[in-house]
Structure formats: C-alpha cells, structure tokens
Amino acid sequence: MSPSVITVETKENFSQNLVINRTTSELSLQGRIRVPGDKSISHRALMLGAIAQGHTQIQGLLLGEDPCSTASCFQAMGADISPLNTELVQVKGIGLGNLQEPVDVLNAGNSGTTIRLMLGLLASHSGRFFTITGDSSLRSRPMSRVVKPLQQMGAEIWGRQGSSLAPLAVQGQNLKPIHYHSPIASAQVKSCILLAGLMTEGKTTVTEPALSRDHSERMLRAFGAELDIDPQTNSVTINGPAQLTGQTVIVPGDISSAAFWLVAGVIVPGSNLVIENVGVNPTRTGILEALAMMGADIERENEREVAGEPVADLRVRSSRLQGCTIAGEIIPRLIDEIPILAVAAVFAEGTTVIKDAAELRVKESDRIAVMAQQLNKMGAQVTELPDGMEITGNTSLVGTDVDSYTDHRIAMSLAIAALNATGTTNIQRAEAAAVSYPNFIPTLQQICS
C-alpha cells in the first residue's frame, strides 16, 4: 500500500478539498524536484517589460494566478504580452509614460504586489484616469501604506475609508520627488515609490527600517534605471526620469515555494530531497537561516548567478529540530515563510517564538490567527502573540478538517503538516495554492507516491 493517499475533491462551487490520508508510517521524500518561477520576480519582469522600450523575453515565468492578474492589468493598458500558457513569455514594451487609460476597472485579483506596485506607475501617468480593485481579501488589505507616500509626491487617489481600501481611483499627475522614511520594511512599499520615481524629475528616495527583498532594485538597474543604494541606511534613490530598455529576464525558482518542500524534507523521517534551481537572493534566504538555527540539514549545491540573481540547488535531509526565537531584521527576509516555519516548529524539540511579524495579520489572510487555529485543530500547541506565535514543539498531529481561508500559503503549509499527522486531513479551499504554485498538488502526489 502507498504510504499516503492524496486526493482532490472538487465541490459544486469549484472549491477543492485536498484530502491527505496517511495510511502507513513508511513515507519518506526522495528525488529531485523543481519549483515554479519566483512570484516577486515574475511580477516585476511583466511590469518593467510592459513599460520599457523594446522587447522583453521572460524565461521561467510563474504561471500562477497572481502574475496572470499583473499581465491582464497591463494588457488592459496597451501592453502586448504573449499568452501566459508557457513559461517563455514575450512582452512588447510600450515605453515609459505610455500606459493607456483602461476602458474598465483594472482587477488585481488576490495580488498585493500587483495593486501596490502598479499604483506607483498609475499615479505618475499624468492626465489619465484609472480604477483598480481586487478580490475580497485584497479589498480588505491596507493600501494607505502606499497611498500616503504617493500623496506626498502629489498623487490624487480616492477610495473607501480615507483612500485606504480598494477599489481605488487614480487621477495621474506629474509627481514631485520625495525622501520617504517607511515605517515598515516592505518591498511593496519601496517598489511602489521607486516606480513612481521613474517618471518623476529628480531624486526619489526610500529608506526602510530593515532591508526587504531587493528584486526591484536589481531589475530596474538591469533595465537601465539609475539607482543609488546605501546599504548603511537601507536607502534606495532613483534618479528620474529614467530610460528603460527591454531585457531578457530569467526567473529562478521561488524560494517561498521551495520552503514547503524544505520543511517537508526536514520533518518526514528518512527524506533526502533536492529542490533544483532555487533563487537564493540574500534578501529572501531568512528561511534557510531560520531552519539552520533549528538544526535542519540543508545544503546548497551548484551555486551560480543567473541573470543578476543568485541561484542554487537545495538538498534537504530529515533532521531533528530544536525550537528557537525568530525575530528582528530576519523577519522581512522570511515573511512569507512563517506559516510553513510554524509547521516546522510543531515538530521541533522545545519552544519556538516568532516575534516582530505583525505584518502577517494583513497578508492574504490573518496568517497568525489562521495558522494558530488550524494547527491547534490538528493537536498542535500554538499561542497567538500580537506580532507572532509561540509554538510548543514535539506534539503529535492528528488529521482533521482544516481550512485555508483561501490563502495559498496556508493551504500548502497545512498540506505539509498533514504529511506528519496520523489519519486523514481534509484541507478545505485548497485550490488557493494556484495563486503562487499551480502544480503544488501534483508535485505533492508525485513525491509521496
């Protein structure tokens, strides 16, 4: 008998239950797998390709729902983007300042990166009017973090609750440069302001309290923008107006997607798994550092640089984990991996404390509350903190009904937790995984067979 049976039940409303039934204790994860393209880099490649002069070719684009939202918004504003049905995507750029006024509301779907980065571009397209919305999760997420600095630059933006919630309406303006001291370490905030600075005459600077992912900086430079980066103060300055020229972008595998297999490999006894072609940009490798702190056996193999981003194959072997404290400057470098890190902590010796991560409460779901509730339903001991979680490790999980709350990272984290639970786990609304990892369930079935 196979050590686990993984099935998908599709309901009448097209929502999917992922059912993971551990039949024996013989499961171990072996082999070599690849994860889909990095979501953050995929969004940026589509956006910069659309607004640059000339042709951009993107290899390895994530074909998930979020990048599809970005592509359809830019297509609605005149960019010529080849259909997102292959990982090789061609973009004919329309040139900076040439986004057309869309005839309908732009829809960013579930994607915070799409709406927040795009707002910087829309706000600086003088004389054009845009409206933008998203799904119910996105319409409840805070937009004031980008609206306020854009307003300081002279942007005109309207929306519910003092322009803090989508749908938003934007009347494009000629903006003025500012030096923005962001209260949060957020790549979406930083990138929004840098994109607004592209067409703004003069120096637009963002300073953040800790370094967030730097894919925008790397890609803007590669497309020809003039950037000054001061690592001492975590400041980036863009010198506008910029000239952007189409490029070839090679998107590495997403470390945020690899994180599910890293934790699976660590917690499932006897595993030895290689995840190939993973982006290991230091602003994203907090998960590797946190798992190393906990005693995980993860090795980098075949380290190389591909189109301006560091890449490696990651070999993970099952390991005994020890609880630890994860807080401070590492948090922005593993913010999306905290749900799966919580799963690792459940199987660690001792207590794990995650702090300084209040941002998790305003992601696709309140990831602190949802992870604590769902893991506790399975028998874990997770206590919510205002800005994180305290997890008492070494508890045995028992399969039960759990819910993703339509959050892709919650759905996938619970699936990995289920691999080490006895009995049957039924994850409701598991189709959410397609936001960032359309092949997650087939890959899970493959490595568990």
> Which residues of the chain form contacts with ligand S3P (CB under 6 A)?
40, 113, 186-188, 191, 212-213, 335-336, 359
Closer by beta carbon to ligand S3P, 144 or else 272: 144
Closer by beta carbon to ligand S3P, 62 or else 415: 62
Q: Is 409 annotated as a binding residue?
A: yes
Q: Max Cα separation, the chain? A: 67
Q: Is 429 annotated as a binding residue?
A: no
**Phi, psi dihedral angles at 231 (to 5 degrees):** -65, -25
Closer by beta carbon to ligand S3P, 29 or else 335: 335
The CA distance from 418 to 397, in Å, is: 8
The least CB distance from residue 214 to ligand S3P, in Å, is 10
Annotated active-site residue 254? The verdict is no
Closer by beta carbon to ligand S3P, 347 or else 437: 437
**Phi, psi dihedral angles at 63 (to 5 degrees):** -90, 40
Closer by beta carbon to ligand S3P, 63 or else 348: 63
**What does DSSP say about strands 388-392 and 351-354: parallel, antiparallel, or unpaired?**
antiparallel
Q: Is 336 annotated as a binding residue?
A: yes
The least CB distance from residue 191 to ligand S3P, in Å, is 6
**Phi, psi dihedral angles at 61 (to 5 degrees):** -60, 140
The least CB distance from residue 159 to ligand S3P, in Å, is 18
Note whether 52 and 79 are within 8 A (CB).
Answer: no
Note whether 254 and 37 are within 8 A (CB).
Answer: yes
Closer by beta carbon to ligand S3P, 356 or else 359: 359
Closer by beta carbon to ligand S3P, 187 or else 430: 187
Closer by beta carbon to ligand S3P, 47 or else 380: 47
Q: Which of 214, 313, 336, 403 is catalytic?
A: 336
Q: Is 186 annotated as a binding residue?
A: yes
Q: Is 164 annotated as a binding residue?
A: no
Q: Is 40 annotated as a binding residue?
A: yes
The CA-based angle 72-435-82, given to 5 degrees, is 30
Q: Is 112 annotated as a binding residue?
A: yes
Of the CA atoms within 13 Å of residue 400, those in its CB half-sphere come to 12
Tokens of 76: 């609605």
The CA distance from 29 to 44, in Å, is: 33
**Active site amino acids:** 336
Binding positions are: 39-40, 44, 112, 141, 186, 188, 336, 363, 367, 409
- Enumerate the known binding-site residues for phosphoenolpyruvate: 39, 112, 141, 188, 367, 409
Binding-site members for 3-phosphoshikimate are 39-40, 44, 186, 188, 336, 363
